[in-house]
A and B are shown apart, each in its own frame.
Chain A
Amino acid sequence: MAAGNSPIVNRLQARPQPVFRQTLCIACGACAAACRAGALAMRPDLEKARVIWRFVPEACMGCGRCTRYCPTGAITIAPPEDELRPFKAVKETSFPLQKCSCCGHHYASALEIAHLATLVPDTFLNNCTACRRLRAARSLSLAYF
């Protein structure tokens, strides 16, 4: 994290950059989907049952799109004059994945499911979409009309 006098660091320091608060993040991936510079990425690691969040400061344009899409406010923009910015920067971290209680498939970030449980009815949340469809199709009666 040593901020030398290299031109790249200077250029980085001249721009606003996102600050990531890991405790607020639910690993939904909205920031990665929103990022047009390819600086933010989320990739699942199915072997370890975790999803990896990665930030490449060198690629960041400082546009702030990620902050607008983040549903929990885990990403905010720190202005260039924030001296503590380099210390707040998290470059890589990982979050647990949720396992479908029906088929055992890892289908989403566990924190995202917990977050959703506060917003929508949680009776179906621990199933993957394919299993939800199966349940919905099975519960259809033979003829309604």
Chain B
Amino acid sequence: MRFVRRQFIIPDKAKCLGCYTCLATCTLVHKEAGAVPYPRMFLTPTAQGSVPLQCRQCDQAPCMEVCPVYAIEVQGAAVVLNEKKCVGCGICVLACPIGCIEIQAVRQAAATGVVLATSVLLPLILSEQDEKKMRKVAVKCDLCYFRPEGPACVKVCPTKALTLVNEEDIRLLNLQRRQAYASLIGS
């Protein structure tokens, strides 16, 4: 059961420029927090422009329900993936309705605490021996739960295309829309 009000980040297609600042910040902030240094959002191109997509922090999170090692749990307003517990099986990736979890590879050193940046290129450049030293973990948005000032991407977006939404915002928006509709049929 979750008692904290639900929050998630929603992008605005009309405002996003596709500048990747959010992805860079996300990588940086998570590295500093000791997590795997990968962006937790995915810039997805559409006909009306690109948008960064990230986890919607579902209430009955499918990823949480299918994780065999119980590495995904609710922390505050976010569904957080414990990277130390994760075995990298990838079943959460398949369970995510919007495809916002991905398996990433980090060097084995990550297990001992030091996280090294790598790229998906490495398997090609490195030999098979080196590849075995790679550890795979699932990476997802955690709303920067370790940052008291809230998600870093929302703060840095130069066009304010990202909004952190909570249930109160949704309630107010609904109210506004109902009022607008009521005044429409009243006139």
Nearest residue in A to B88 (C-beta to C-beta)?
A: A33
A116, B89: Cβ atoms under 8 Å? no
Nearest residue in B to A124 (C-beta to C-beta)?
A: B97
A136, B98: Cβ atoms under 8 Å? yes
Nearest residue in A to B47 (C-beta to C-beta)?
A: A138
The A-contacting residues of B in range 12-58, CB under 8 angstroms, are: 12-15, 42, 44-48, 51, 53
Q: A30: CB under 8 A from chain B?
A: yes
Complex CA gap A125/B66 in Å reads: 13
Chain B interface extent, by class? 35 or more
Of B45, B51, B173, most buried by chain A (CB within 10 Å of CB) is B51
A119, B13: Cβ atoms under 8 Å? no
Q: B123: CB under 8 A from chain A?
A: no
Q: How far does the Cβ of B79 sit from chain A's closest Cβ, in whole Å?
A: 14
B10, A121: Cβ atoms under 8 Å? no
B99, A130: Cβ atoms under 8 Å? yes
Nearest residue in B to A28 (C-beta to C-beta)?
A: B91
Q: B90: CB under 8 A from chain A?
A: yes
Q: How far does the Cβ of A26 sit from chain B's closest Cβ, in whole Å?
A: 9
The residues of A that contact B102 with a CB separation of less than 8 Å are 129
A33, B87: Cβ atoms under 8 Å? yes
Nearest residue in B to A136 (C-beta to C-beta)?
A: B98
A136, B53: Cβ atoms under 8 Å? yes
The A-contacting residues of B in range 158-187, CB under 8 angstroms, are: 163, 165, 169, 173
Nearest residue in A to B11 (C-beta to C-beta)?
A: A140
Complex CA gap A133/B11 in Å reads: 13
A137, B53: Cβ atoms under 8 Å? yes
B89, A30: Cβ atoms under 8 Å? yes
Q: How would residues 122 to 135 of chain A score, 1 for a CB under 8 Å from any chain B CB and 0 otherwise?
A: 01110111111111
Nearest residue in B to A30 (C-beta to C-beta)?
A: B89
Complex CA gap A137/B46 in Å reads: 7
The residues of A that contact B97 with a CB separation of less than 8 Å are 120-121, 123-124, 132, 136
Q: How far does the Cβ of A130 sit from chain B's closest Cβ, in whole Å?
A: 6
B91, A145: Cβ atoms under 8 Å? no
Q: A79: CB under 8 A from chain B?
A: no
The residues of A that contact B53 with a CB separation of less than 8 Å are 133, 136-137
The residues of A that contact B76 with a CB separation of less than 8 Å are none
The residues of B that contact A133 with a CB separation of less than 8 Å are 42, 44, 53, 98-100
- Interchain residue pairs with CB less than 8 A apart (30): A30-B91, A33-B136, A69-B68, A70-B68, A71-B66, A116-B95, A119-B95, A120-B65, A120-B95, A121-B62, A129-B94, A129-B99, A129-B101, A133-B98, A133-B99, A134-B46, A136-B53, A136-B100, A137-B53, A140-B11, A140-B46, A141-B13, A142-B12, A142-B48, A143-B13, A144-B10, A144-B173, A145-B12, A145-B165, A145-B169
What are the nearest 8 A-B pairs in CB distance? A129-B99, A132-B99, A30-B89, A120-B62, A136-B98, A137-B44, A133-B99, A33-B87
